[in-house]
Amino acid sequence: MPLHEWTYPLSERPSTIDDSDGKRTYATPEPQTELTTWVFDEGTFVPSAKLVGDRRYSIISDYLGTPIQALDSKGEIIFFSLPYFSLLHLLISKARFIFAT
C-alpha cells in the first residue's frame, strides 16, 4: 500500500473554492515537488520501501515492524537504529532518512 507525501511553501498553497453542493476543492492543482512515496507491507503499517524522485530505499524492520535499517539502491546502509536500548538509541543517517519515533 503506497502513501504519498510532498511539501511546498505556504505562499504557493492554492486557493480553495466551494461548489453548490458544498464540496471544497483547490482552484489549481497543488504543486508537487520532491514527491515521496512510502510503500508498506500489505495489510500492515510496516514500511518496506521509500521512493524519493529517482532514489529508491529498502527498509528492513524487526519482528515488531519497527524500522531498523534502510539501504539505498547500491546496498549501502543509510539508516541504522538499535531501538532496544531505552537510554541509548543509536541513530546514524546519511541521507536525512527520517522515521517518526
Condensed to tens digits (0 to 9), the pLDDT of residues 52-92 reads 888 999 999 988 888 888 899 999 888 777 655 544 444 55
In angstroms, the Cα distances linking 57 to 16, 24, 30, 38 are 35, 36, 26, 10
pLDDT of amino acid 97: 61
Condensed to tens digits (0 to 9), the pLDDT of residues 11-33 reads 888 888 998 888 988 888 887 77
Residue 26 phi/psi, 5-degree rounding, is -85, 145
The residue assigned the cell 543509536 is: 90
Residue 39 has pLDDT above 90, yes or no: yes
pLDDT of amino acid 62: 87
